[in-house]
Structure 1
């Protein structure tokens, strides 16, 4: 069976036991390591492996062909994207009519940004420009764009570029809804046995928690020059109770995010019932 997920520590930690034959009565897995932006489009184009990690924001494009699994993914708190600018600590109206760089147009970060703009920037931004996430802060610093939407480790490094916070979208989302942020989802083709696959993945998560040392070499092999401490922090941030089981709270967070995005016309119309 074929599976695709990122080389990030949270994914390699979660799937180590499954793809190394440590979960009984499972098939042999062939792994493709791919960034989530790549898997988002594979799924939308009916390409790629039978099982994939994609952004929750991509689900409206793929639910006719893939089913959301209730485990293996990532929802979190305190890990949201930031809106930054160069001049000063900002306010929402600072992006009115401005050029804002974003790392993707099919990501949770993008959905949160668009929902925040719809609620707090009534006259809208001037232009949304997509660029690789590692190029966004330098572009804001150089004045090539007015503001930037940043993710990942940029939460901690943006002061090095002389940038200032306009909004922490994760903090805004949690205050506005009370829900965690839906980040990465695990999907499987609809013609597969989903309950069995979910059982395997949940067993892999539980194995990882019970034997954290077992996956250490595998995690660090793919950790893209992270130190062990940074890799461990990454795991602790993104592998949590929702990874083992979305539960009612997890599903509700997803439904609120995608329901709002559908109502704003940010994603195509889809049947919310297909999320469960």
Structure 2
């Protein structure tokens, strides 16, 4: 009886856990849709004409440089790494009782990849950046996360509430940067070991992290107008070259197959 009760109770707990996970997932999906809808509303509404700065300010960078900095300093590594890895992972191990390795699993993998790395993630990043830019360049507030709450809480935000918000933001940023470094190290180490005799081990990954850290420090110390701008432009141009080369090679490969 005890074993039977344990199995039944375990199944019940697992069932409840599945229901809670499903409800949480639906809530998150709804929030993502709200972010996208709000972003589109701000674009087409009169609020989209508000200049992030004084009335006579003009953009400091052209669109290619701006887009390059967004990708390089935003979701560049995550997009390159998980943009490919996530659909493949879901293809091999899909959710919702989908059979692995099937066309349906491939569709599910692409669906999750597009969901995590397209409009929804940009809407979240864009709204957070928009709020920070607004309070900094329009309201002349410090470039802190707590400044975004000044209009809501007024003087009540001063003191420990502001410090708590900023500490939490710093910790979250540090974790995000650590994840970025880890993903970039794994990606570059794996690529180097695939095309050369360099071993994909801890020493290689640690060396890559050290080099990336030095480049990051030099870029940050030189400012946005020099280091970050130049690295972003180089990153964007090199990515275009790689995509063009891959497309050219793949097209020639298909053409040769047709001839044979």
With the length of structure 1 as denominator, give the TM-score of the two structures.
0.23
Higher relative contact order at CA 8 Å, sep ≥6: structure 1 or structure 2?
1
**Which one has the bigger helix percentage?**
2
With the length of structure 2 as denominator, give the TM-score of the two structures.
0.24
| Bigger radius of gyration | 2
